[in-house]
Amino acid sequence: MSGPLMLDLPGLDLTAADADLLCAPEIGGVILFARNYEDPHQLAELVARVRAVRGDVLLAVDQEGGRVQRFKKGFTRLPAVRVLGDLYDQNPENALYLAREWGWLMAAELRAFDIDLSFAPVLDLDYSRSQVIGNRAFHSKPSAVLALAEAWIAGMAEAGMAATGKHFPGHGWVTADSHTDIPVDERTEAELQNADLQPFVRLAEQLGGMMPAHVIYSAVDAKPAGFSRYWLQTVLRERLRFQGAIFSDDLAMEGAAVAGSFSERAQQALDAGCDMVLVCNQRSAALEVLESLQRQPRPANARIQALRGQKAPTLAELKNSDRWQEARASMAPFSP
C-alpha cells in the first residue's frame, strides 16, 4: 500500500529518473499540472507509463474550471463555478441541474484517462476580498454554496470520482494569497461556524477528501489549519466526524513556511492529522520530504487507496454517450 507523499512531474513524459523515484513506497500520489499536458494522446501515454511503474499510485489534478483547469485542449473548457452561483440567484432549479451535470462531465472526462481525483469542489465563500479564491467559489452565501456543491459532488460520484472539499475551514475572507504570503483570519470560531464552516459541516459525509487552508485563524490556533491538531482532529475528525482522507495543500506555498523546513512541514502536517502531503514545483523539496519519511516511516493509509477512481468508460465511449453530449451542450452558453 502506498505512502503519504504526493509529488509532481517536471514534463510531458515520465523520465527514467521519475520512474526510479516513483518506486519509493513512501510516494503514494502524483499531481499533474498544465506543463504535463499537451493533448489527450500524450496524457494517455503518460498515465500508462506511471501506472506501469506504480499501479497503486493516486493520480490527481486541479480541474475546477475557469482559471484553474490544467487540461484544456481536447477537454471540455469548464467555466468558473461562480456562473452557477449567479444563475442560482435567478433560477435555482436549473443551476442545481447544471451543477450536477458539470460535476459529472469534469469527472467523467478525467476518469476516461484513469485520473483518480480532481481536487474539487471549492467550498469557500466569496466575500469579494480574496483574489486567489474569487470566482472559484460558487457563491457568497453558505446556503447557496452548500446546495450547488452538493449537486456537483453528486455528479462527480456518478462518474466514479470522489470529491475533495477545499479549503477547510474557509479561505474566502483573507485578502492575502497563501501561495505567496501567510494569510491571517482574525475572526472568532463562532463567526466561522456561522458562515464559512457551514458547507464543510453539512457535506462532510459526502466528501472523500478534504484539503485544509494555509491560513492562520489567530483567534482559534496559532498554526495554519493544515498544521493544526485542533482544526484537523478536534473539529474535522471529532466534531464533524469526517472519515475521508485529509490532504495538505502544497507545502511549497508560502503559507506553509511558518512550519519550518520542507521535512518539518511534512512531519507537522502528518502529525496534525493529514493523510497525504503535497510537495509541488520543487523537486529538491520533495526529495527532502521523501528522505525524512524514509528515516521516520509512516504506516500506509487505507483512506488514500479508498479514493482510487472507479472503472470508467473510454474517451470514445464517453463521447458517444447521450449524457456527455447533453452536458457539453448545457455548458455551451457559459463556456469561456
Please report where in the chains the cell 490556533 appears, as a residue.
221
DSSP secondary structure of 8-36 = E-SSSS--HHHHHHHTSTTEEEEEE-GGG
Phi first, then psi, for residue 31 (nearest 5°) are -105, 135
Q: What angle do CA 266, 285, 247 make, to 5 degrees?
A: 40
- Say which of 179, 185, 221, 250 is annotated catalytic: 179
42 by Cβ neighbours in 10 Å (0-12 / 13-18 / 19+) ranks as middle
Alpha-carbon separation of residue 89 from 84, 92, 303 (angstroms) = 9, 6, 37
* Dihedral angle over CA of 131, 136, 138, 140, nearest 10: -10
Is 179 a known active-site residue? yes
Task: State the cell numbers at 155.
Answer: 455528479
Which one of the listed residues 8, 126, 185, 249 is annotated catalytic? 249
**Residues near 4 by beta carbon (within 8 Å), at least 6 away in sequence:** 26, 28, 270, 274, 275, 276, 277, 293, 298, 301, 304
Let me know if 214 is a catalytic residue: no
Amino acid identity at 219: A
Using alpha carbons only, give the angle 245, 251, 257 rounded to the nearest 5 degrees. Answer: 135
Name residue, grid cell 499537451: 38
| Residues marked as catalytic | 179, 249
